[in-house]
Amino acid sequence: MAIRKLLLPLISSASGEAALATALDLATIWQAHVYALHIRADTRDIAPLAGEGLSGAMIEEMMTTTEKEGSSQARSLLALFERETALRGIPVGTPPSLSEGGVRAAGALFSSVIGREDELVASEARLADLTIVPHPQSGEDVAAADALHAVLFDSGRPALIAPLVKPASIGTRIAIAWNGTGESASAVASVLPWLSRAKAVRILASDDYQRRGPTADRLAEFLRLHGIAADIVMFRPIDRSVGAGLLGAAAEFDADLMSMGAYSHSRLRQLILGGVTRHVLESAKLPVLMNR
C-alpha cells in the first residue's frame, strides 16, 4: 500500500524546519500530499485560571499575549512553508481528485487552527498514512513529545520522528528493531511499503531486547513471503543500555530509516526508569518510524 497523505504538526520554526524538509522530501518520493497543521492555543482555556487567584485584568493580558504569540508563530511557519515548497517546486493547495482527471503528484497545504493540540493531532492522524513529528529534542521538546504521544496512543496510526537535521536520504537502508511484541509487529506492517523500495534491509535483535513472541528468524521468513530479503544482526547493549546498542547497530548498518515498536513497557515506567523507546527518542540521529 502506497503512502498518499502525510500529516505534519508544526509547532515552531525552530523545531519544524527539519521536520518540514523531511515531510516534503517524502512527498516527492511517494507522490504524496503533505497537510502541515499549526495549532494555536485557545485563549478561552486561560479563563479558568481566574479561580486560581488571578485578577480579570491579568487574565485578559495573558489571553491577549497568547493570541499575539500564536498569530506571530503562524505567520513565521507559513513563511517557512512557502519557502520550502517553492524551493522544491511542490504545488500548494488541496490535492487533485483523480476521478476528475487529476494527476498524482506531490502537493502540500498549510493550515493554522485554534484548539487543543493533542486532540486535533490525534484526530487528523487517524486519516493520514503517516504523521511526521519534530524531534523531541529540537527546541520544543514538550510540545513535540505531546504531538508524538497523541499519534501513538490515540490515533492507531504510525508516527515518523524527524531527525534534528534533514537527512541526505531516507528509506534506502532500513533497520527493523524487532523484539517479538505486538508493537514491533505493527511497526513492520507500517514499514512494509518502504521495504520493497529499499536497497538493503536488516533486522536488529538482541536477547536483552526480545520479549515473548516470534523471533527474528520468523520475521525474516515472513518478509521473504513479501519478496523482501533481510539479514539479521544480533546486537548487544552498550554500557548496559539496550537503546544505545540498538542505535549503534543501526549506525553501523548506515541505516537512513529505522522502524520499531514504541512503549512495549508502559509510558510511565519508561518515564521513571528509562527504556528503549525513551533512549531512541532522546538520542536518535536518523528518522525513526514508530508504532504502538
> What is the reported pLDDT for 42?
74
pLDDT beneath 70, residues of the chain: 1, 43-56, 58-59, 61-63, 65-66, 96-104, 138-144, 264-274
Question: Nine-digit cell at 60?
Answer: 485578559
Burial of 195 (0-12, 13-18, 19+ CB in 10 A): buried
Going by C-alpha positions, the residue among 120, 132, 146, 117 that lies closest to residue 21 is 132
> What is the reported pLDDT for 56?
66
Question: Nine-digit cell at 11?
Answer: 509547532
> What is the reported pLDDT for 159?
95
> Do β-strands 231-234 and 200-205 pair in parallel, antiparallel, or remain unpaired?
parallel
> What is the reported pLDDT for 145?
77
Rounded to 5 degrees, what are φ and ψ at 56?
-60, -40
Same CATH fold, 173-291 and 5-161?
yes
> What is the reported pLDDT for 98?
47
Residues of the chain with pLDDT > 90, as a percent, come to 61
Asked if residues 205 and 178 have their Cβ atoms less than 8 Å apart, the reply is: yes
**pLDDT tens track for 219-253:** 999 999 999 999 999 999 999 999 999 999 999 99
The pTM assigned to this predicted structure is: 0.88
Domain topology for 5-161: Rossmann fold (3.40.50)
**pLDDT tens track for 70-105:** 788 899 999 999 999 999 999 998 876 544 555 568
> What is the reported pLDDT for 214?
96
Name the residue ranges covered by the structural domains of the chain. Answer: 5-161, 173-291
Q: Which CATH class is domain 173-291?
A: alpha beta
The contacts of residue 199 (CB under 8 Å, 6+ apart) are 172, 173
> What is the reported pLDDT for 273?
39
